[in-house]
Amino acid sequence: MKIPVETKPALWGIVGGAIGAAIVGFSWGGWVTGGTAEADAAQRANSAVVLALAPVCAERFKGAPDAAGNLAALKKVDAWSQGDFVEKGGWAATPGSKTPEQVTAVAKACALLLAPA
């Protein structure tokens, strides 16, 4: 079987085009690897959980005994420590909390709802 002489340059053109398409796609086309897509999805899911649980935390805070005193104490604490205050009070922890980082994020979002900066 004879292969035409023009085949070799055509194959190199296909290889070069595939490499060029990959470079353009990953650089400017928005293509990502599976690992990056998985990390982005996990981050978005965690953000959605925090967004959903922060109002629940705020309601638990407001429904607790001595809510007015706790709110006054929360407002006295500096903005950097308000999330810690809510977390230590136990208002941010829910039965479905998966990680300590998630509880911390919910506590910070809850503190922002209770005492806006």
**Residue 98 CA to its chain's centroid (Å):** 14
Tell me: the pLDDT tens digits for 55-77?
999 999 999 999 999 999 999 99
Q: How far apart are the first and last CA of the chain?
A: 78
Cα angle value 29/35/94 (rounded, 5°): 120
- Mean pLDDT over 91-116 rounds to 87
**Amino acid 117: pLDDT:** 65
